[in-house]
Amino acid sequence: MSKSARHAAHLRVDGLSKSFADRRVFTDISFTVPHRDRIGIIGESGSGKTTLLRVIAGDGLLSCQRPTDS
């Protein structure tokens, strides 16, 4: 396995934002999870953990917009 393949990101999230009509859930989230790493998502009830996972999985992606450069 090449050195670059060993260090390749298994998951990359860049500039992700999500809001509903009455509230912003998260803004401009970016992170990388390298291959074979494990992460945990922690937070208070209602803080957007499940929403984040759903958006990453593609459920509800159509209503999610990436911030535009201005």
φ and ψ of 50, to 5 deg: -65, -40
Q: Are 67 and 22 in contact (CB under 8 A)?
A: no
Q: Measured between alpha carbons, how far is residue 22 from residues 18, 25, 68 in Å?
A: 12, 10, 21
Q: Are 10 and 1 in contact (CB under 8 A)?
A: no
Mean residue pLDDT of the chain comes to: 82
Question: What's the chain's length in residues?
Answer: 70
pLDDT in tens, 11-20: 999 999 999 8
Poorest-pLDDT segment among 24-28, 36-40, 55-59, 61-65: 61-65
d(CA 7, CA 15): 21
Q: Model confidence at 5, in pLDDT bands (50, 70, 90)?
A: low
pTM score of the predicted model: 0.68
pLDDT in tens, 20-43: 899 999 999 999 999 989 999 999
